Amino acid sequence: MVLPLTLALDTAQPRCQCALALRDGTTLSEIEDRQKGHAEVLIGQVDTLLARAGLAYADLERIAVTTGPGSFTGLRVGLSAARAFGLSLDIPVIGVPTLLAMSLAMPENTSARILVDARRDEMYRQDFAGPGLPVGDAAILPVEAALEGLEPGDAVLGTGAPLACETRGAVDLEAHLAPAARGFVGIAALARFAQTADPADFPPDPFYLRAPDAKPQTGFAVARQNRREGR
C-alpha cells in the first residue's frame, strides 16, 4: 500500500521537531530540545529533513501538526507553518491534539492516563484505551482532580506521571516508549498516524484548553449623568 508522503510538525512543547513519513511508511525525524525560538529553527529543520530524504516541498502530500494543549505561542508557530504549507502546496493539513499525539507512541494493547503539567497547579488530562484511542475528552484540571480515580498499578504517561506514581502508586510507561517519544510527542508516530487519518476528523484548529487571560475593563470611567435628549 502506498501511503501519502507526510510531513509532521510539533512545536507546542519545549522541543522543536518534525518528521517525514515516506510512502512505504518508514520515517525520518529532526528533533531539537529548546525552550523558545521554535519560530526561528522550524523551517530550517524541515529543509534539513527534506534534504536528508532527497525530497522537495513540492513532493509533500500531507501536513500534520499538533494543535495543543501546550505553549500558546508554540502551538501557533506550528499551526501557522502547517497551514501555510497546506495553502502553498494545496494539500490537506491534519491537526492532532497534543495528548492524542502523545498516546500514539504508547505500546499496543495498553491503556493509560496521559498527564501533562499545565502549571498554576493544574494538569492536562486524558485517558486512552490504546494508542490513538481516547476515552473521554482532554481536560485541564486542578492536580488533585487530574489524579482522581487512579489506582495503584494504573499506567500513566507525561510530565505529570512522576507525581501520579509518587502519590497514587501509578506506573510510568515512559520506559516502554521509544527514547525520542519520552516526555514529548513521538513525532515519527504522529507522521505515520496522519498518513491514514481522515482530514475531516482532524481540522488544524488550535486546541488551547485554557481561556486567554483577559478581563473586561471596568472602573476607569467617571460617572455620567443620564443622557437627555435635545440638551
Partner 1 sequence: MSEQAQSRNESLILGLETSCDETAAALVLRDSAGRGQIVSNVVRSQFDEHAEFGGVVPEIAARAHVQWLDRIIARAMREGDARLSDIDAIAATAGPGLIGGVLVGLTSAKAMAAALDKPLIAINHLEAHALTPRLTDGVDFPYLLLLVSGGHSQLVLVRGVGDYERWGTTIDDALGEAFDKTAKLLDLGYPGGPKVEEAARTGDAKRFAFPRPLLKQDRLDFSFSGLKTAVRLAAEELAPVSDTDIADICAGFQAAVSEIVAARSSDALDRFAALYPGIAPVLVVAGGVAANKAIASALERAVARHGAKLVVPPPALCTDNGVMVAWAGAERFALGARDGSDFVAQARWPLDTLGPVGDQNGEGAKP
- Non-local CB neighbours of 104 within 8 Å, separated by 6+ positions: 131, 132, 185, 186, 189, 190, 192, 193
Kindly indicate which of the ranges 84-92, 103-111, 125-133, 191-199 contains the residues binding partner 1, using the contact rule CB under 8 A. 84-92
Shortest distance, CB of residue 221 to partner 1, whole angstroms?
A: 4
- Of 79, 82, 25, 27, the residue nearest 52 (C-alpha): 27
Shortest distance, CB of residue 35 to partner 1, whole angstroms?
A: 15
CB closer to partner 1, 158 vs 206? 206
CB closer to partner 1, 87 vs 135? 87
Q: Is 189 exposed, middle or buried (0-12, 13-18, 19+ CB in 10 A)?
A: buried
52 lies in the binding site for partner 1 (CB under 8 A)? no
Using CB under 8 A as the binding rule, the residues of this chain from 85 to 114 that contact partner 1 are: 85-89
Query: Taking CA 9 as the corner, what is the angle to CA 8 and CA 14, rounded to the nearest 5 degrees?
Result: 140
Report the distance separating Cα 223 and Cα 90, nearest Å: 55
**Which one among 25, 34, 73, 107 touches partner 1, defined by CB under 8 A?**
73
Q: Which residues share a beta bridge with 20?
A: 7, 28
> CB neighbours (10 Å) of residue 207?
20
User: CA dihedral defined by 213, 202, 59, 1, rounded to 10 degrees?
Assistant: 150
Using CB under 8 A as the binding rule, the residues of this chain from 186 to 215 that contact partner 1 are: 205-206, 208, 212-215
Identify the H or E element spanning 165: helix 161-168
42 lies in the binding site for partner 1 (CB under 8 A)? yes
**Which one among 76, 113, 125, 192 touches partner 1, defined by CB under 8 A?**
76
Shortest distance, CB of residue 42 to partner 1, whole angstroms?
A: 7
Shortest distance, CB of residue 175 to partner 1, whole angstroms?
A: 35
47 lies in the binding site for partner 1 (CB under 8 A)? yes
Report the distance separating Cα 222 and Cα 229, nearest Å: 20
**Which one among 5, 12, 20, 46 touches partner 1, defined by CB under 8 A?**
46
**What character string, x for contact with partner 1 (CB under 8 A) and - otherwise, covers 132-171?**
----------------------------------------
Task: Please work out the total of residues on this chain that contact partner 1, with binding judged by CB under 8 A.
Answer: 44
Q: If DSSP codes are grouped into helix, strand and coil, which group holds residue 173? A: helix
Residues in contact with partner 1 by the rule CB under 8 A: 37, 39-44, 46-47, 57-58, 72-73, 76-77, 79-89, 205-206, 208, 212-217, 220-225, 227-228, 231
